[in-house]
Amino acid sequence: MHFLSLKKDIYESTFWGQFRIRFEGPQTFEDVENGIKATFLPGNVKGKGKTKDHFKTVVFLKGKPVSVIEGSYMGYIRIDGEKYWDARYTKAYKMFIEDSILESDFSRRLDLQCIDEGNVTQGQKEKENLE
């Protein structure tokens, strides 16, 4: 049996602007069958240059510490001192969205099409027609 608690995730700018998810922790993973437990608590690392996304977590096996995971969920992850992920070296891929055949798809909205073409006034009129 596995448990994962996500108590205080904060979602910002879901409707407008740059979408962000902020983890405010604590978040606990527990594998009861194998006796593994770890609690992720972002912002628990203090010091110069350490922001709220920095963390240090100890993994316990049957109550004894067996591993340390540390880093920043915005930048890098180290497990027992070895770096496994670094955002600086992650290749960004352009998202490809297939054309939708659904008439209700957002990309077919006339108000958005007008705004994309730079015609904000007509876009506003089309939006009001939808409302």
Q: Which one is predicted more confidently, 5 or 34?
A: 34
Domain ranges within the chain, ordered by starting residue: 2-87, 93-131
DSSP 94-111: ----PPP--TT-GGG-HH
Asked whether the predicted pLDDT for residue 20 surpasses 90, the reply is no
122 has pLDDT over 80:
yes
In this predicted structure, what is the pLDDT of residue 6? 59
Residue 31's pLDDT is 92
What's the confidence (pLDDT) of residue 69?
Answer: 93
pLDDT averaged over the chain? 82
Alpha helices (H) in the chain, listed in sequence order: 110-116, 120-130
pLDDT at res. 4: 58
Whether 87 has a pLDDT exceeding 90, the answer reads no
Give the CA distances from residue 106 to residues 65, 103, 112, 117, 131, in Å, rounded to whole numbers and listed in that order.
50, 9, 8, 16, 14
What pLDDT shows up at residue 7? Answer: 61
3-state secondary structure (DSSP) of residue 90? coil
